[in-house]
Amino acid sequence: MSEKLKTKTFVFFLIAPAFLVLIGVVIYPFIFNIIISLSNMSLSHIKDWHFVGLRQYVKVFTEESKPSFYDVFLKTIIWTVVNLFFHVVIGVFLALLLNQKEIRGKAIFRTILVLPWAVPQLIVALTWRGMFNYEYGSINLMLTQWFGLPAVQWLKSPVETFIAVIITNVWLGFPFMMIIALGALQSIPHELYEAADMDGASWFHKLKNITIPLIRPVMVPAITLGTIWTFNNLNIVWLVSNAGEPSDQTHLLVSFVYKAAFNFYRYGYGAALSMVIFFILLAFSLTFMRRTKATEAAY
Amino acid sequence: MKPITRRFGSINRSTFHIFLFSFVIAGAVFCGLSGCSPKTTEKIRITIWHQDRIDIRVVLEAQIKKFMALHPEVQVEQLFKETESLRSGFIIAAIAGQGPELVYGPADQVGPFQVMDIILPLDSLFDKSYLDQFDPKGLTYYKGHLYQIADKLGNHLTLVYNKKLVPKPPTTEKELIDIGKSLTRDLDGDGKPDMYGLAWNYTEPFFFIPFMTGFGGWIMDDNGNPTLNNRGTIDGLKFIKDLRDKYKIIPNESDYEIADILFKDGKVGMIINGDWSWSGYEKAGIDFGVAPLPKITTTGLWCGTMVSPKGFSINANVSEEKKKWSIELIKFLTSDENELEAARILHTMPTKKSVLASDFVMKNDIMRNSQIAIEHGRPMPVVPELRAIWDAMRPSYQAVLGGYKPAEQAAADMQNDALRKIREMNE
Amino acid sequence: MNAKSKKYFRIVITYLVLVLFCLIALYPVSQILTVSLRPADRLMSTSLEIIPKDASLRNYKALFTERPFGLWLANSTFVALVVTFTGVALASTAGYAFSRFNFIGKKIGLLSLLVTQMFPATMLLLPMYIMLVKLHLINSYLGIMIMYSATALPFCVWQMKGYYDTIPTSLEEAGRIDGCNRFQTFYQIILPLASPALVITALFSFMSAWTEYIVAAQILQDTQMWTLPLGLKSFESNMGSEWGLYGAASMIVTIPVVVLFLSLSKWLVSGLTLGSVKG
């Protein structure tokens, strides 16, 4: 066989298995969802649904609801950005700390710091909810007893509840970014740092010019996917706020979909909303990846 | 070996081996599993899906074993699913033509299941003489047909009190407030109460309903239209707010878990909770009593909780043969003997008239009070619109408690929201 | 400050910060431990103690004697290990292809991997169920293993690709010159260098299978086949969950993950850096 054909065959065998699985498992539900989103499938039309064109999409954007689609959308964006920011900053920060050669007991530190990711989410989320209780929760107890600050009504008003949910999710998410960053840091040759030291570079300079560019190829997929997952993270918001309390204000777009589809059986509407979420995320990913040139190599 | 590869020595070798191993294992397992399927027996399999807590599961398992001993050609299995998963899981499975033969749960699941045409009407499958043995509350009719036969009646709220702190339970709301005030104490002088008179999951609409009825309201009329904007709602909301802010006998924030542990820790005298919780209090060693919720003196009405039967529905996809056995199984599990056994162990209220008249139900303290609470209560509607009503009530209700909406406004908003959500649901 | 005391300062601050974060990481987890030791299913308590006065190991014992926790553990371990091996095998190869070769559909391929993650999972349940029914994969491990691999792969492939991207192609060229063929350069030279990414892939695949509930709940109908998340869910009720058992189970469920992490983490920071390439 010619060299080129050999290469192509090799490539094909590398990728084929993964893609076969993905196509089967994802494409079919995807198409199904598109079809449903163009239909009126709901409680009264569960078996005899028919196409209604873009009516569900119109409803998504114009339906009057408290909170409105735009409120929830904005909230979801804030949620995603704030979470990712802290996840990455804390994760990279801790990874850098742990990467220093003079530190002992690294294995222990790493293991303890990975616990938030390792523990089952349901009970941990409910534990955090308990910690935010006004009268009996640990957080207020610590605030009042150790810092002399007034207790916060964490779960009573929309803003505080939102902050509480964010705090919980940041706690849950930083280990993941930390592990990725730790892995990424390994790919940076020591010589680069040594050379920079000889040139008298400050730590900031080293961070900006060596570390960050070189961990980028590994961090970018994690950040992109992290953004997508956080955007669509139903569990934490649902559990800590007890399904949207207070007054249905603590919602993300995904929990909206969940409510519509599973609580009200509005499958057509839910499918349309899912498609909208999908397009939002697609637009984001395309822009983000173009700017970071993530589909190319680093060297 | 070549110069470059030599540098990587042993690590590279073991990585290669792990790698090859992974591929082989994955391939082998996949191949092996594609031929693998659960063991099929020649027995007829009947599956029950339910959302029962563990005590009930244990009793059910024992009764199922008895049934299988009587009918060796049948294999009965029970599968627990959490309430929401049960509902959505059954819907998904049934629409795809699958699902369990029997689905067991509270009556409100009947509405959506019937509309989606995934459960069978039962009136033609059981004869009248059999059905007449049941208290009417145990048979759930919807749109003119019978869809669920219950073996337990309940899901109702009662006033549970700690006998050590509350020797005699209150019968009116005035007594409730008085007892509450005497119990709410600041024991360690830090300005915050360490004990409360009453705690319960008061932010959840279901737990608010008794006060709505006590003050004269109800959530819907006979045709399923919401009637939330009424005096009962408004006065009920104000009453609860007063309990917290004026009389200060309930904690500032109290969801289900908090109220539960406060009661278990002995830090609260009374809790409003349902029959599912009693065994937990028993396990925690609390000497507790059960009483019906109090009467509201200003209206003369008893606070009435929602009562719901929990029973069996048959999957519309069931085959003729399995249908026969499903019917047999339902008859067996609702037999007088089995209902009485369940009542004794679990303190659940039976549905057969003869069992309701038995000594145990009439004379046992907890059962007697439970029965009174049920009598004061009203059946939970089974229409699918109920969901919309809960959802409409919740935000406004919580806004009142949060202090940023007056009760009158809330009642009006609840009504409008409910109407809107019902409209959206039925489009 | 001279260089030595600067260094000292840096080290001390590092330890302080690390310890602080460890405490933050540990505290909620310790609450779960408390729940597991506390009798009578109390999720919270009015006291702040970590080991309650009436602590008992009853819940841990009950997990194995009163519930088939051991069975759930075995099932989950089996499923998770297979998914891990599959994930590592498939992602390391696919990622390599995406990193080293340019071919038609490369960009689309990469993007489509991401696309698979963008859908809220709740909407995928109904079509997935229907498809699995048609393929007779309901109530089989093959069914959930396929689903789990599909959910874990996109991230893993991207991750591997990103990591391969940081390895200079000059290494493969050197390998070819030395006489290795393509596959040999891949698994003897490149793969070991990518061990941190392999670790991440393994961990991630394992976690996806170990903790997943929604898909398993829909597919596994036989209680004998239950995985841990389904088992844990059975302790939960809308009102009146068995928190003691749930807490104990949660603690035990965390242990294999931690063990896996510990054993793999030496390869995460292998130090197999590119010191082999000069200039």
What percent of chain C clears pLDDT 70, i.e. is strictly above it?
A: 95
Sign of CA dihedral B61, B62, B63, B64: positive
What span, in angstroms and rounded, lies between the C-alpha atoms of B354 and B376?
21
DSSP state of B348: P
Comparing C-alpha atoms, which of C125, C221, C216 is closest to residue B100? Answer: C221
Q: Is residue C202 in a domain?
A: yes
Which contacts of B7-12 are long-range, i.e. CB under 8 A and separated by 24 or more positions?
B7/C276, B8/C188, B8/C189, B8/C192, B8/C272, B11/C192, B11/C195, B11/C270, B11/C272, B12/C188, B12/C189, B12/C191, B12/C192
Of 2.40.50.140, 3.90.1150.10, 3.40.190.10, 3.40.640.10, which CATH number belongs to B44-154+308-379?
A: 3.40.190.10
C50 belongs to a structural domain = yes
DSSP code, position C224: G
- In contact, A22 and C150? CB cutoff 8 Å: yes
Cα–Cα dist A98/A104, whole Å: 9
Instruction: Determine the CATH number of domain B157-304+384-425.
Output: 3.40.190.10
The whole-angstrom separation of Cα C135 and Cα B9 is 46
C-contacting residues in A 31-50 (Cβ below 8 Å):
32-33
Q: Which of A18, A131, A254 sits opposite C153 (nearest CB)?
A: A18
- Please name the residues in contact with C182: beta carbons below 8 A apart, sequence gap of 6 or more: A6, A7, A10, C176
Neighbours of chain B (3+ CB pairs under 8 A): A, C
Question: Tens digit of pLDDT for each residue in B372-411?
Answer: 999 999 999 988 888 889 888 988 888 888 888 899 999 9
Residue C275 located in a structural domain: no
CB spacing of C232 vs A120 below 8 angstroms: yes
Report pLDDT digits (tens) over B203-245: 889 999 999 999 998 999 888 889 999 989 999 999 999 998 8
For residue C43, give its domain range: 32-67+234-255
Query: Which CATH number covers residue C130?
Result: 1.10.3720.10
Nearest Cα neighbor of C278 from B361, B4, B383 is B4
Among chain A residues, the shortest Cα distance to B261 is held by A136
Q: What is the pLDDT of residue C216?
A: 86
Chain centroid to CA C185 = 28
- The answer to whether A26 contacts chain C (CB < 8 Å) is yes
CB-side exposure of C42: number of CA atoms within 13 Å?
A: 26
Give the Å distances, CA to CA, from C90 to A21, B22, C97. 10, 9, 11
The Cβ of residue C256 has, within 10 Å, a number of other Cβ atoms equal to 17
Do C193 and C139 share a structural domain? yes
pLDDT digits (tens, 9 = 90+) for B8-40: 444 445 555 666 666 666 665 655 554 444 455
For chain C, the straight-line distance linking the first and the last C-alpha, in angstroms and rounded, comes to 35
* Contact (Cβ atoms closer than 8 angstroms) between residue C262 and residue A107: yes
| C240 in the same domain as C153 | no
pLDDT in tens, chain A (299 residues): 566 667 667 667 767 766 776 777 777 788 888 888 898 888 878 777 888 888 888 888 888 777 788 888 999 999 999 999 999 999 999 999 998 888 888 889 999 999 999 998 888 888 898 889 888 888 888 888 888 888 888 888 888 899 999 999 999 999 999 999 998 888 888 888 888 888 888 878 888 888 888 888 888 888 988 999 899 888 888 888 887 777 778 888 888 888 877 788 888 888 888 888 889 988 988 888 787 765 555 44
Contact A11, B396 (CB under 8 A): no
Query: Would C12 be classed as within a structural domain?
Result: no
Point out the residue among C31, C117, C120 whose CB comes nearest to the CB of A254: C120
Residues C39 and C85 in one domain: no
Q: Which amino acid is at B51?
A: Q
In tens, the pLDDT along B285-318 reads: 899 999 999 999 999 999 999 999 999 999 999 9
CA C261 distance to own-chain centroid? 9
Task: Report the pLDDT value the prediction gives residue A262, as an integer from 0 to 100.
Answer: 77
Half-sphere exposure of A4 (CA within 13 A, CB side): 2
Give chain B's mean pLDDT: 87
- Size (chain A), residues: 299
Over residues B348-353, mean pLDDT: 93
* Residue among C159, C196, C268 minimizing CB distance to A221: C159
Query: In chain B, which residues have their Cβ closer than 8 Å to the Cβ of C242?
Result: 53-54
C144 and C47 within one domain: no
Within-domain flag for C63: yes
Question: Which range has the worst mean pLDDT, A223-232, B96-105, C129-138?
Answer: C129-138
Structure tokens at B92: 């998904």
Q: Where are chain B's structural domains?
A: 44-154+308-379, 157-304+384-425
Q: B198 - beta bridge partners? A: B270
Q: What is the mean pLDDT of residues C183-191?
A: 79
The arrangement of secondary structure in A71-292, i.e. its CATH architecture, is Orthogonal Bundle (1.10)
CA distance A159 to chain C (A): 23
In DSSP notation, A118-158 reads HS-HHHHHHHHHHHT-TTT-HHHHHHHHHS-PPPP-TTTSH
Tell me the chain A residues in contact with residue B387 when contact means C-beta distances shorter than 8 Å: 263-264
Structure tokens at B21: 């191993």
Distance between CA atoms of A263 and B415, rounded to whole angstroms? 19
When pLDDT is averaged across residues B257-280 and rounded to a whole number, the result is: 90
Please indicate if any CB of chain C lies within 8 Å of the CB of A212: no
For residues C90 and C215, state if they share a domain. Answer: yes
pLDDT of C1: 60
Mean pLDDT, chain C, rounded, equals 83
For C221, nearest residue in chain B (alpha carbons): B79
Distance separating the N- and C-terminal Cα atoms of chain A: 31
Position B6 scores a pLDDT of 39
pLDDT at C275: 43
Task: Flag if B98 and C138 touch (Cβ within 8 Å).
Answer: yes
> CA of B125: how far to CAs of B26, B148, B323, C224, in Å?
50, 12, 9, 33
User: CA A248 to CA A246: how far, in whole Å?
Assistant: 6
Q: Which of C88, C142, C192 sits opposite B12 (nearest CB)?
A: C192
Helix (H, G, I), strand (E, B) or coil at A49: coil
- Residue C6, min C-alpha distance to chain B (Å): 37
Contact between B51 and B105 under an 8 Å Cβ cutoff? The reply is yes
Neighbours of C37 (CB within 10 A): 21
Residue B193 pLDDT class (50, 70, 90 cuts): confident
- Structural contact between residues A230 and A80, judged by C-beta atoms closer than 8 angstroms: yes
- Hey, are the CB atoms on C93 and A19 less than 8 Å from each other? no
- A115: CB partners within 8 A, 6+ apart: A175, C25, C26, C29, C254, C258
A140 half-sphere exposure, CB direction, 13 A CA radius? 19
Tokens of B198: 């009453």
Contact B265 C195 (CB under 8 A): no
**Domain B44-154+308-379 matches domain B157-304+384-425 at the CATH topology level:** yes
pLDDT, residue B4, reads 39
Widest CA span in chain C? 73
Number of folded domains in chain C? 2
Question: Is C167 part of a structural domain of the chain?
Answer: yes
Contact yes or no for A24/A233 (Cβ under 8 A) = no
pLDDT surpasses 50 at C94: yes
